[in-house]
Amino acid sequence: MKKPSSLGGSNPDSQYRPSWPKVLVAISLVGIATFFTLYSHLPGLSYEGFRQQYYHDLVGLVGGALQSYAQSPYGRFPFPDDPFHFIPCTNATLLPALDDSNPVQSWARLFDPNPEHWSWGAPTSEQNVQGRDPYSGRGIYLCGYLQVPLDYTNKSEPRIVRLAVTKYQVSGLVRINTAINTAQSSSPAAGSKSERTIIVDPGGPGASGTSLVWRAAENFTKRLSDGKFDILGWDPRGVNASLPSIACFPHDAFRDRWSMLTGQYREAAGSPQVKLELADAMNNATFHACKEKYGDIPQFLSTAFVARDMEEIRKALDEDEVTGYLVSYGTSIGQTYANMFPHSVGRLILDALEYVRDHRQLGGFGWAALDNTTDVWRDGFLGECLNAGPKYCALSQPRGSETVSLQNLEDRMRNLLVSLSQRPITGYLESSGPSLITYSAVVSAIYGALHNADSWPALAQMLYELEAGNSTLATAFLDNSEWEYHPSTSCPTSPRPRPLSHELGPLVICADSYDAPLPPDGLLWWQSLWANMTTRSWISGNEEFFSVLPCQHFRTYWPPPAELYRGDLNHTLKNPLLLIAETHDPATPLRNGKNLLNEMGKNARLIVHHGYGHSSRDKSSCTDSIIRAFILNGTLPAEQETPCYADGKPYLYGSNTTEFRTGSAVAQDPIQIWREHIQELASWNPRLVLRR
Ligand SMILES: *[C@@H]1O[C@H](CO)[C@@H](O)[C@H](O)[C@H]1NC(C)=O
Ligand SMILES: *[C@@H]1O[C@H](CO)[C@@H](O)[C@H](O)[C@H]1NC(C)=O
Ligand SMILES: *[C@@H]1O[C@H](CO)[C@@H](O)[C@H](O)[C@H]1NC(C)=O
Ligand SMILES: *[C@@H]1O[C@H](CO)[C@@H](O)[C@H](O)[C@H]1NC(C)=O
Ligand SMILES: *[C@@H]1O[C@H](CO)[C@@H](O)[C@H](O)[C@H]1NC(C)=O
Ligand SMILES: *[C@@H]1O[C@H](CO)[C@@H](O)[C@H](O)[C@H]1NC(C)=O
Ligand SMILES: *[C@@H]1O[C@H](CO)[C@@H](O)[C@H](O)[C@H]1NC(C)=O
Ligand SMILES: *[C@@H]1O[C@H](CO)[C@@H](O)[C@H](O)[C@H]1NC(C)=O
Ligand SMILES: *[C@@H]1O[C@H](CO)[C@@H](O)[C@H](O)[C@H]1NC(C)=O
Ligand SMILES: *[C@@H]1O[C@H](CO)[C@@H](O)[C@H](O)[C@H]1NC(C)=O
Ligand SMILES: *[C@@H]1O[C@H](CO)[C@@H](O)[C@H](O)[C@H]1NC(C)=O
């Protein structure tokens, strides 16, 4: 995971010292002339921009004591006419509070003029020949924010939402002196935005788009656009660094504490009735707390408003049509967006499809997710394990004289889980002391692992050892995935870490099904839904049930959301959508893609991606080339539906290439693989990391 703080210092070429002066500007002709020279050459800065900036500076100087202005070799950020107020990201670029009386100034003060503290993209090999400037030709991470109305439907509502936005600008930045000297000859695109900006969203609801940019922007721009287009991610209203950010617990540790009591799976020992009463009472308590803390704000978090936010982002980018890659719940934002703003649809890709119409029904968000989870387990995790063999997958090692068949392996795993449901296995680690391996925690870890086949060798190793009576690895895995608060990594130092915005998820899900009738028999209906969902999928049924159960209480605390999109999904769009649905996705079954294509008709094309895991992360050159032709050229397959197959097989990824580590993940540290998996999972689906 790329953190801003770790990048600035990791500059390999540290003997290079840029000559950036901290310019102390006095009111003098020289100063004014300097300003003109500097600002008028900044790419993309109009005369109007210059005039405003100059005016702003002059007022600052006349109005107060002599101020010092930080100047970098790339000019001063934010540019005055930039609606996103972008400044190069450092570890200090946190949004000004909502009650800040001068947020523009507070934000501008966070600009750190030292390029060594900024987050630059990885250098490419070409850049080594470009002389001593270590930043030349490298992309740059820019942090900013966009203010949007809290309530789009009420012009007299003064409250706002401040959306955190992070952009990876592929062309990097241009030094001022370079711009002056080579204004004619240098590429016009250098140091400015790309022709199109790819907006990304990881889903959730509740996943952070800014974190996704940190993790994956450099990969995304290559995969989606051959490195040509910028990548922009935002934290949706209520999420992470955006303000307000919805966390109804003051600390993550308190949420963890209660989820132990209330996150018990239906099959685990104990009465389902008692477990349901507990979970339901806690949901009520949680929404009560959200109401106390946030008042009416949950009325303004529905997907329709998130779509409006995306339209504001498009306008702020000053692009006529939106370009985007939206994943999982992000596809629900995309479907809603496309039908609310059909004339703004440019090159929009929806990957790992939901069918947003399902979410209008009570529980629909959960029960529409279940179809193929067990197929991923059987065909993928177990089946491909046997195909790969014991060198690559621990579970295909024979136990004693028995040969391992799929049926036999499935039965063994079932026996292990049944035994866990009756009595947990004990665990011990020096770092965490005594612990329990519970049914709920292991099944939740399995569901998480099915999202990403890279984690399968590690999980197979863990289950193999657990079955053989060694719980050490299982203890370490669960220790990494079960809780948000970890005393060794999140000590209550100052400033205290902000709690994660996990309550945003149920608030969005429940708002989106607000007008569905509530069951007359209350918990009886939920109990039968729970039984139904867990029968359909023992792996995902509980998790998906817990994501919708809170909706029993949403209406007690809030009137209807300010807006819900209830129109059809077949509007005539400026450009068709490119849909990607996977045959073996544990959370967004293929059926969703088929349903959506069926409704959208000629306004969409579908890639049926034959691969394992959540979204098209199981690489297929076929899928990738269709994606690039669409993003770069706007061309789409003629056929409504195109099948594409993953290039490799789980457990064997890279096994035919030279860099493959013999024995792959089995030889690598499984705990490290698991840790990386959990981090990636958090960036797609924060619900799953917190085990309920
Ligand atoms: C932020 O980065 C600066 C310089 O790179 C460093 O001195 C400072 O300790 C960092 N602060 C935090 C909170 O990480
Ligand atoms: C619009 O917002 C104002 C200010 O918060 C509030 O007083 C009013 O009741 C709102 N109107 C509606 C229809 O929600
Ligand atoms: C990005 O791509 C590189 C190489 O192509 C790969 O090693 C790395 O794991 C990728 N990172 C992410 C976050 O996908
Ligand atoms: C945003 O999410 C990331 C990844 O989960 C986390 O590290 C970061 O602290 C969060 N930021 C805020 C302001 O909550
Ligand atoms: C829900 O919580 C509220 C506030 O604590 C309480 O008054 C009410 O009785 C609770 N309802 C149920 C059904 O538990
Ligand atoms: C996914 O689920 C559907 C049922 O909705 C089923 O028809 C299909 O065969 C499943 N896919 C796989 C790969 O088993
Ligand atoms: C149990 O598993 C751990 C982790 O894989 C391993 O280090 C340890 O040697 C195993 N213990 C025994 C008794 O096999
Ligand atoms: C679950 O509910 C669906 C829809 O009502 C129904 O078609 C299905 O048969 C039920 N499945 C079970 C196992 O009860
Ligand atoms: C969209 O579908 C509805 C029926 O679901 C139909 O009445 C309507 O004509 C369709 N609109 C378009 C533009 O095809
Ligand atoms: C885009 O179109 C150009 C010109 O027709 C072609 O050379 C190029 O290969 C296309 N790119 C992709 C990714 O399809
Ligand atoms: C690796 O190569 C062998 C033979 O060259 C081929 O049969 C096999 O399918 C390849 N495996 C993968 C995962 O590409």
pLDDT in the model for residue 489: 62
Which stretch of 236-245, 257-266, 436-445, 659-668 has the lowest confidence by average pLDDT?
A: 659-668
pLDDT in the model for residue 56: 44
Name the residue among 282, 112, 88 with its Cα closest to residue 166: 88
pLDDT digits (tens, 9 = 90+) for 541-578: 999 999 999 999 999 999 999 999 999 999 999 999 99
Q: In ligand 4, which atom is closest to the CA atom of 164?
A: 13
Q: Which of 3, 5, 110 to mutate to test the pocket of ligand 1 (most atoms within 8 A of CB)?
A: 5
pLDDT interval class at 2 (50, 70, 90)? very low
Q: Whose atoms come closest to the Cα of 300: which ligand? A: 2
The residue whose C-alpha atom lies closest to atom 7 belonging to ligand 8 is 532
CA distance 489 to 432: 13
Query: Ligand 11 within 6 A of 652 CB?
Result: yes
Task: Please say whether the beta carbons of 572 and 342 come within 8 A.
Answer: yes
CA distance 303 to 310: 11
Q: What is the dihedral of CA 471, 477, 483, 488, to 10 degrees?
A: 90
Q: What is the residue-wise DSSP string for 252-273?
A: HHHHHHHHHHH---TTSSS-HH
Query: Ligand 4 within 6 A of 95 CB?
Result: no
- 3-state class of 397 per DSSP? coil
The residue whose C-alpha atom lies closest to atom 6 belonging to ligand 8 is 532
pLDDT interval class at 683 (50, 70, 90)? confident
Q: In ligand 10, which atom is closest to the CA atom of 633?
A: 1
pLDDT in the model for residue 130: 54
CA of 378 to the centre of ligand 6 (A): 12
pLDDT digits (tens, 9 = 90+) for 247-264: 999 998 899 889 888 999
Query: Ligand 10 within 6 A of 227 CB?
Result: no
Mean pLDDT for 119-143 is 80
Query: Ligand 10 within 6 A of 636 CB?
Result: no
Query: Ligand 11 within 6 A of 649 CB?
Result: yes
Task: Please say whether the beta carbons of 392 and 457 come within 8 A.
Answer: yes
Query: Ligand 3 within 6 A of 215 CB?
Result: yes
For helices 541-548 and 504-512, what crossing angle results, to 10°?
Answer: 80
Ligand 5 proximal residues by C-beta, below 6 Å: 281, 284, 288
Q: In ligand 7, which atom is closest to the CA atom of 670?
A: 5
Per 3-state DSSP, the chain is made up of helix, strand and coil in percentages (nearest 5) of 45, 10, 45
Long-range contacts of 119-125 (CB under 8 A, 24+ apart): 119/2, 119/4, 119/7, 119/8, 119/88, 119/89, 119/90, 120/7, 120/11, 120/172, 121/168, 121/170, 121/172, 121/218, 122/218
CA distance 130 to 140: 17
The number of angstroms, rounded, from the C-alpha of 23 to the middle of its chain's C-alpha atoms is 39
CA distance 674 to 478: 10
pLDDT-above-90 percentage for the chain: 71
Query: Ligand 2 within 6 A of 153 CB?
Result: no
Task: Please say whether the beta carbons of 608 and 584 come within 8 A.
Answer: no
pLDDT in the model for residue 83: 96
What tokens does 576 get?
A: 């068709």
pLDDT interval class at 21 (50, 70, 90)? very low
688 CB-near residues (< 8 Å, 6+ apart): 444, 447, 448, 451, 543, 681
Write down the residue that tokens 């994943």 correspond to.
Answer: 327
pLDDT in the model for residue 401: 77
CA of 242 to the centre of ligand 1 (A): 22
pLDDT digits (tens, 9 = 90+) for 441-468: 999 999 999 999 999 999 999 999 999 9
Give the pairing of strands 322-327 and 197-201: parallel
pLDDT digits (tens, 9 = 90+) for 47-101: 333 334 433 444 444 333 333 456 788 888 999 999 999 999 998 889 999 999 9
pLDDT interval class at 490 (50, 70, 90)? low
CA of 633 to the centre of ligand 10 (A): 6
The residue whose C-alpha atom lies closest to atom 7 belonging to ligand 2 is 157
pLDDT interval class at 11 (50, 70, 90)? very low
The residue whose C-alpha atom lies closest to atom 8 belonging to ligand 11 is 656
pLDDT at position 294 over 60: yes
CA of 218 to the centre of ligand 3 (A): 9
CA of 255 to the centre of ligand 1 (A): 29
pLDDT in the model for residue 43: 38
Q: In ligand 5, which atom is closest to the CA atom of 281?
A: 14
Q: For residue 223, how many other CB atoms are within 10 A of its CB?
A: 18
Higher pLDDT, 160 or 59: 160
CA of 645 to the centre of ligand 11 (A): 15
CA distance 264 to 438: 9
The residue whose C-alpha atom lies closest to atom 8 belonging to ligand 5 is 284
Query: Ligand 6 within 6 A of 584 CB?
Result: yes
Name the residue among 269, 266, 268 with its Cα closest to residue 527: 266
Name the residue among 303, 174, 309 with its Cα closest to residue 232: 309
pLDDT at position 417 over 80: yes
Q: Whose atoms come closest to the Cα of 493: which ligand? A: 1
680: enclosing H helix or E strand: helix 670-684
Q: What is the residue-wise DSSP string for 405-457?
A: -HHHHHHHHHHHHHHHHHSPEEEEETTTEEEEE-HHHHHHHHHHHHT-GGGHH
pLDDT interval class at 520 (50, 70, 90)? confident
413 CB-near residues (< 8 Å, 6+ apart): 382, 463, 467
What tokens does 411 get?
A: 């039965």
Query: Ligand 1 within 6 A of 6 CB?
Result: no
Q: In ligand 6, which atom is closest to the CA atom of 372?
A: 1
CA of 692 to the centre of ligand 4 (A): 20
Rg, C-alpha atoms of the chain:
26
Task: Please say whether the beta carbons of 10 and 119 come within 8 A.
Answer: no
Q: Which of 568, 573, 600, 602 to mutate to test the pocket of ligand 9 (most atoms within 8 A of CB)?
A: 568
pLDDT digits (tens, 9 = 90+) for 98-125: 999 999 999 999 999 999 999 999 987 6
481 CB-near residues (< 8 Å, 6+ apart): 441, 444, 445, 448, 674, 678, 689, 691
